[in-house]
Amino acid sequence: MLQYHFNWKMLSAIAGVTWWNFYFRLFPGAIRSRQIIEFLSHLLRHIPGKLLIVWDGLPGHRSRAVWDFVQQQRGRLWLEFLPAYAPELNPVEYLWSHWKQHELPNLCPTTFGQLSHHARKALRRMRRRPTLVIAFWQQAELGRRVRGLGGVPDLLHSCFFRRTPSFRATACN
């Protein structure tokens, strides 16, 4: 029996994928400009050199605050946008799909804390499997296209943002 609550707290996820690894952050509620800037700062702290950021059409990506932050990085961030309605190009979509369908398919947490704990643990477990990350790139058509471009930094860090509304704390019996 499922009990439905209409004021669930939501856990949102944000990730950046390199050719062999990924970085992630989980946030309560929706992803907005502040969370995007926090995540970009996280990437800049952990990854040396210039970063190519490829992202979708989330309104927060085009916000004034995000653009101001990017400008302050003085060329360290290189931005590109995916075409509209092209999730098949996005390796992070395959990451989220695997996360939900294979790592957490029957998870039914009763508290928001449980949800956050199990979601984070599953992502860390996935991150220890570089062949899994490579498979996300193989599924996404973007990887083949980008590797053929000249002038692209050695590390491709593509950051894609998507809420995960199916991960909410609820009671299951």
Closest to 21 in 3D by CA, of 45, 43, 50: 43
Measure the CA–CA gap between 142 and 117, rounded to whole angstroms: 31
Q: In this model, does residue 37 exceed pLDDT 50?
A: yes
Torsional sign, CA 27, 77, 69, 47: positive
Domain that holds residue 120: 2-172
- The total number of structural domains in the chain stands at 1
Residue 118: predicted pLDDT: 92
Q: In this model, does residue 12 exceed pLDDT 50?
A: yes
Residue 168: predicted pLDDT: 44
Residue 115: predicted pLDDT: 86
Residue 173: predicted pLDDT: 43
Residue 39: predicted pLDDT: 94
Measure the CA–CA gap between 25 and 15, rounded to whole angstroms: 7
| Residue found under tokens 């058509």 | 141
Q: In this model, does residue 123 exceed pLDDT 80?
A: yes
Count of Cβ atoms closer than 10 Å to residue 117 Cβ:
12
For range 42-67, the mean pLDDT: 87
Question: Higher pLDDT residue, 151 or 98?
Answer: 98
Span of 47-51, 76-80, 163-167 with lowest mean pLDDT: 163-167
Asked whether 107 and 164 are in contact (CB, 8 A), the reply is no
For range 137-156, the mean pLDDT: 57
The CATH code of the domain that includes 163 is 3.30.420.10
Question: Higher pLDDT residue, 161 or 66?
Answer: 66
CB neighbour list of residue 122: distance below 8 Å, 6 or more residues apart: 99, 103, 104
Residue 16: predicted pLDDT: 87
Span of 26-35, 104-113, 125-134 with lowest mean pLDDT: 104-113
pLDDT digits (tens, 9 = 90+) for 62-118: 899 999 999 999 999 988 888 878 888 888 889 989 998 999 888 888 888 888 899
